[in-house]
A and B are shown apart, each in its own frame.
Chain A
Amino acid sequence: GDSVTQMEGPVTLSEEAFLTINCTYTATGYPSLFWYVQYPGEGLQLLLKATKADDKGSNKGFEATYRKETTSFHLEKGSVQVSDSAVYFCAPASGGSYIPTFGRGTSLIVHP
């Protein structure tokens, strides 16, 4: 089955700092790739996605590029805000069912 490795957190940044959260995966076939975000006290919600090699998913200032050659999907944001404090999950989805496999999550804490 699929597997995913995310950098361990928490990641602590000051407001307006640059963010990178690394994600590498193993998957059968040609997976779709997702980043989900979980704000405090809430369920997960889709942040962005990419479905083929070199695709760039983007949303709310976050970006991630589907790198097939390195099996990576690193999440980046140029200038984080306090409101970005949350847990971020990388999730490849492949196989016939396309059920995502979630990473362990990376907690981001942004200080004013």
Chain B
Amino acid sequence: DADVTQTPRNRITKTGKRIMLECSQTKGHDRMYWYRQDPGLGLRLIYYSFDVKDINKGEISDGYSVSRQAQAKFSLSLESAIPNQTALYFCATSDPSKRGVYNEQFFGPGTRLTVL
């Protein structure tokens, strides 16, 4: 079974709808992240959480919100989706006990979101 799972894997929605993307992990990592990937732009950080009570904005948080329901679950919400939020979204985790030099990130398979 995959260590980092994302649901749904694909979603098509309409402008103005509220959307939630979910991420679960079985790696036991405290740190979780949400990224979006756009062609030619690489990955950009939306939000990150170092533990259940610690949530931080990333580079492009406008239009998004997150919820860390438990160590293993980190959800991303689009309160009112717009077409330029069409992208591939990735959840990732890392282990703070290996902070710094070994801060390898482990990625989920991604959610492809299309906003019409």
Residues of A within 8 A of B (CB): 32, 34, 36, 41-46, 49, 51, 89, 93, 97-100, 102-105
- Of listed A32, A43, A104, residue having the most chain B CB within 10 A: A43
Interface centre among B4, B41, B100, B108 (most CB of A within 10 A): B100
B side interface size, CB within 8 A = 25
- As a 0/1 sequence over residues 69 to 103 of chain B, the CB contacts with chain A under 8 angstroms (1 = contact) are 00000000000000000000010100000011111
Report the bound CA distance from A72 to B111 in whole Å: 32
Contact present for A93 and B103 (CB under 8 Å): yes
Asked whether any CB of chain A lies closer than 8 Å to the CB of B45, the reply is yes
Beta-carbon contact of B100 and A44 below 8 Å = no
A44 touches B90 (CB 8 A): yes
Residues of B within 8 A of A98 (CB): 99-101, 103
**Chain B hits for A100, CB < 8 A:** 103, 105
Whether A99 contacts B48 by the Cβ 8 Å rule is yes
B33 in contact with A102 (CB, 8 Å): no
Given contacts A51-B102, A104-B41, 11 further A-B contacts (CB under 8 A): A32-B103, A42-B109, A43-B4, A43-B92, A43-B109, A43-B110, A44-B43, A99-B45, A102-B35, A102-B43, A104-B42
Instruction: State in angstroms the CA–CA spacing of A70 and B98 once bound together.
Output: 27
